[in-house]
């Protein structure tokens, strides 16, 4: 961990630029702009003065223009422009200095706008822009993410204190998870040379690292403690834990890594960064669980139960509730399967109506003044909030031919009825790249905006700038970027799903030497994911629990959410599945029949899985407190899926299905008998014979 942290400090992480995060034609266009040498533009701001009650805007416009021009950090105040319906006035200006830090200098402008609104209550006066957006929304989101990072650790520790009833045992999983995250973030500095990182990667790494790190420690410590309580000496107990839970950890970790690697197939910079970050944090958590953790347990011995908490410390972790439920399930497996499948099917049913949409202004808090300002500006001046950007690269864009193409473009844009003036042109110093901005009808990614984009890309640009000899003409902008992202995502989804499902099947097949077990594992995990999708649609698309979760439905699920949830959930669900199956197979290999092995395996793992699930649900639920709809969807989707997976799927559906299948669970066709034999049980140890002491089996 120390070496990785030092490495990070020496190398520094390479962050992905906006151009690198693009896809399709819009991504290519932004790369051209990025390499064209355009001077860095100061952060742009807009002030809307809107007549909503018949009042005159002239006095407020004159007053505000003068006030903004007199501010030391404001530059480039433009003459006010009027909307086509003559109800709105727009004043544009820029904030001096580095646009990355402009939010620190936009305060006086916001104060001037607020003062004008107070003095003219009959008008609607609001400000929006890059700097004000970073200050009013970005800071709130950053504070929320920082708060989440700080809360997730004490929340996890509190749950583990209840689960273990001992301070030292509770501290070990948290310590391992946190150090795994720190080490992985350090390693990310080196790996960012292969795939540049995006800002949210570290938060995703904390989310996944805390989940798997705590899980692995819980599995290992609980098994070691159980063996000690069964009479094994410290060395033997640790060896059994290594051969059983340790094996489950590396199989589970490998499965999680395979699932996360599926994100590479999207060829999207953000998903690739998430995939690389999660793979690194899972790898470090696995390595820590198989090396540092047993070393610490060996050093601590029974002192791992030190500082017991009165009333919470228990010698046994098997829960009476789960034992009673398991007894009912095994007594009536067919009924249990039907009830569980019906429940999951009912939860998953809304997913048939799942609609995705790009993340936009509707995903921000609707009562935020800047959100209201952006919406009002977008309706009155659509070319100013989400303009399309036509990027033209040629030997020269200062020629008569280019001017003629631009004139034709203006005429066709106006005649189309789908593109909105004004049309602005910016040329780089070398005169080789021009950026032509034009507004699109509609709102961001609605049907009108998409139709306008199709007209621009399919007809107007090819007939004008595209006809210039040797020229490259590509369309970028928010609407185009969202369309290109959706197209690439749609193309990659079958490959991602096929890759994750196929390799997960192969890993389970090799690990448990059973085709049935592998198929069952994949199907059960798909049921968990489908139920999570259905709950997301019910809550966020249909608009239930808006007041409780503090959001307003935008009529769809964020476009990147289904794939991201599938990969994360499939990986995390395998933690439980591999751990439970390993314990069941252990009993079966000792000679128990399938039903008895299921009863023993699930009965002995119910407590640890409950503890691990409670930790995950609590940490994931914290994401629902963040201001963005997408983060709320992430928190609710992950928390709900883990809860369902640990209860209905693992405690009801899995034992019922295995009880019904009996010996068929372990079916392997003869042509696959070459698969390696992997022992799931531990041979009983025998202590050396000592004088005066009988030979006694241990454990």
Per-residue pLDDT at 690 exceeds 70: no
With b for 16 or more beta-carbon neighbours within 10 A and e for fewer, the 495-513 pattern comes to ebbebbbebbbebbbebbb
Per-residue pLDDT at 699 exceeds 50: no
Of 492 and 138, more confident? 492
d(CA 221, CA 10): 36
Token couple for 672: 């696959």
- The domain that contains 122 carries what CATH number? 3.30.70.260
Question: Within a domain: residue 107?
Answer: yes
The residues that bridge with 93 in the sheet, in sequence order, are 45
Per-residue pLDDT at 685 exceeds 50: no
Query: Rounded to 5 degrees, what are φ and ψ at 564?
Result: -65, -45
d(CA 125, CA 113): 7
Predicted TM-score of the model (pTM): 0.85
Q: What share of the chain is helix, strand, coil (3-state, %, to 5)?
A: 65, 10, 25
Angle at 478 between CA 564 and CA 432, to 5 degrees: 125
d(CA 266, CA 647): 32
Closest CA to 568 of 187, 204, 264: 204
Domain boundary pick from 117, 136, 155: 136
Q: What's residue 315's pLDDT?
A: 54
Q: pLDDT band at 141, cuts 50/70/90?
A: confident
Domain boundary pick from 482, 498, 530: 482
Q: Indicate the number of domains in the chain.
A: 2
Q: What's residue 152's pLDDT?
A: 87
Q: What is the pLDDT of residues 408-436, one digit of tens each?
A: 999 999 999 999 888 889 999 999 999 99
Q: Look at 90-94, 127-131, 532-536 and tell me which has the smallest mean pLDDT.
A: 127-131
Question: Within a domain: residue 110?
Answer: yes
- The domain that contains 419 carries what CATH number? 3.30.70.100
Per-residue pLDDT at 319 exceeds 80: no
- Classify 490 as helix, strand or coil: helix
Domain boundary pick from 424, 455, 482: 482
CB 365 within 8 A of CB 562: no
Q: pLDDT band at 54, cuts 50/70/90?
A: low
Residue 129: domain span = 43-136
With b for 16 or more beta-carbon neighbours within 10 A and e for fewer, the 467-479 pattern comes to ebeebbbbbbbbb
Question: Within a domain: residue 519?
Answer: no
Q: What's residue 357's pLDDT?
A: 86
Instruction: Give the mean pLDDT of the chain.
Output: 88
- Classify 231 as helix, strand or coil: coil
The residue behind tokens 């090819």 is 462
Question: Within a domain: residue 593?
Answer: no
Question: Within a domain: residue 93?
Answer: yes
Q: What is the pLDDT of residues 188-236, one digit of tens each?
A: 999 998 899 988 888 889 888 988 899 899 889 988 988 888 889 989 9
Question: Within a domain: residue 452?
Answer: yes
Closest CA to 251 of 509, 64, 11, 607: 509
Q: Look at 334-348, 421-435, 634-648, 673-687 and tell me which has the smallest mean pLDDT.
A: 673-687
- Classify 391 as helix, strand or coil: strand
Question: Within a domain: residue 379?
Answer: yes
Q: Look at 183-187, 442-446, 460-464, 647-651 and tell me which has the smallest mean pLDDT.
A: 442-446
Question: Within a domain: residue 90?
Answer: yes
The DSSP bridge pattern shows strands 74-75 and 88-95 to be antiparallel
Phi-psi map region of 416: left, alpha, beta (phi>0 left; psi -120 to 50 alpha): alpha
């Amino acid at each position: 961990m120390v070496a990785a942290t030092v490495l990070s400090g020496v190398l520094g992480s390479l962050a992905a630029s906006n151009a690198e995060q693009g896809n399709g034609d819009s991504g290519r266009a932004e790369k051209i702009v990025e390499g064209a040498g355009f001077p860095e533009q100061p952060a742009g701001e807009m002030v809307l003065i809107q007549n909503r009650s018949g009042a005159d805007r002239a006095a407020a416009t004159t007053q505000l223009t003068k006030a903004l021009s007199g501010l030391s950090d404001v530059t480039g105040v433009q003459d006010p422009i009027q909307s086509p319906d003559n109800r709105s006035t727009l004043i544009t200006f820029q904030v001096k200095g580095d646009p990355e830090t402009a939010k620190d200098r936009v305060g006086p402008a916001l104060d001037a706008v607020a003062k004008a609104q107070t003095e003219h209550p009959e008008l609607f006066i609001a400000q929006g822009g890059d700097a004000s957006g970073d200050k009013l929304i970005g800071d709130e989101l950053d504070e929320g993410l920082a708060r989440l990072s700080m809360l997730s650790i004490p929340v996890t520790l509190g749950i583990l204190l209840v689960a273990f009833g001992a301070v030292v045992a509770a501290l070990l999983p948290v310590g391992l998870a946190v150090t795994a995250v720190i080490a992985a973030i350090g390693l990310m500095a080196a790996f960012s040379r292969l795939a540049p990182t995006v800002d949210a990667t570290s938060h995703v790494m904390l989310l996944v690292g805390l989940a798997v790190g705590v899980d692995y420690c819980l599995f290992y410590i609980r098994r070691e403690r159980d063996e000690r309580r069964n009479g094994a000496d410290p060395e033997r107990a640790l060896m059994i834990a290594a051969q059983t839970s340790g094996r489950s950890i590396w199989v589970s970790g490998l499965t999680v890594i395979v699932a996360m690697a599926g994100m590479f197939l999207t060829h999207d910079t953000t998903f690739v960064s998430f995939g690389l970050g999660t793979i690194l944090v899972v790898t470090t958590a696995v390595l820590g669980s198989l090396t540092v953790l047993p070393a610490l347990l060996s050093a601590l011995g029974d002192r791992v139960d030190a500082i017991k908490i009165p009333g919470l410390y228990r010698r046994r972790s098997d829960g009476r509730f789960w034992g009673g439920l398991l007894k009912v399930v095994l007594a009536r497996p067919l009924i249990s399967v039907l009830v569980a499948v019906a429940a999951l099917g009912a939860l998953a049913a809304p997913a048939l109506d799942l609609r995705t949409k790009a993340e936009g202004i509707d995903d921000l808090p609707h009562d935020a003044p800047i959100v209201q300002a952006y919406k009002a500006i977008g309706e009155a001046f659509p070319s100013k909030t989400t303009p399309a950007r036509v990027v033209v690269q040629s030997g020269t864009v200062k020629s008569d031919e280019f001017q003629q193409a631009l004139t034709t473009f203006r005429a066709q844009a106006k005649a189309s009825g789908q593109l909105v003036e004004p049309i602005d042109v910016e040329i780089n110093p070398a005169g080789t790249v021009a950026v032509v901005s034009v507004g699109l009808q509609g709102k961001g990614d609605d049907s009108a905006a998409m139709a306008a984009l199709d007209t621009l890309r399919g007809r107007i640009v090819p007939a004008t700038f595209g006809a210039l000899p040797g020229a490259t003409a590509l369309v970028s902008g928010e609407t185009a970027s969202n369309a290109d992202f959706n197209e690439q995502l749609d193309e990659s989804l079958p490959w991602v799903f096929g890759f994750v499902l196929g390799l997960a099947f192969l890993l389970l097949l090799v690990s448990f030497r059973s085709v049935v077990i592998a198929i069952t594992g994949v199907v059960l995990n798909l049921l968990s994911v489908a139920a999570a999708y259905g709950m997301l649609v019910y809550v966020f698309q249909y608009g239930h629990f808006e007041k409780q979760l503090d959001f307003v439905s935008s009529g769809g699920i964020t476009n990147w959410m289904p794939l991201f949830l599938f990969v994360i959930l499939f990986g995390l669900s395998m933690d439980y599945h591999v751990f439970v199956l390993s314990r069941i197979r252990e009993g079966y290999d000792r000679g128990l029949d399938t039903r008895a092995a299921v009863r023993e395996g699930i009965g002995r793992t119910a407590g640890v899985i409950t503890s691990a699930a409670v930790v995950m649900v609590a940490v994931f639920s914290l994401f629902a407190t963040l201001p963005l709809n997408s983060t709320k969807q992430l928190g609710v989707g992950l928390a709900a899926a883990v809860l369902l997976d640990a209860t209905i799927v693992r405690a009801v559906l899995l034992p019922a299905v295995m009880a019904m299948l009996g010996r068929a669970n372990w079916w392997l066709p003869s042509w696959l008998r070459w698969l390696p034999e992997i022992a799931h049980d531990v041979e009983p140890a025998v202590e050396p014979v000592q004088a005066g002491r009988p030979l006694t089996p241990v454990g």
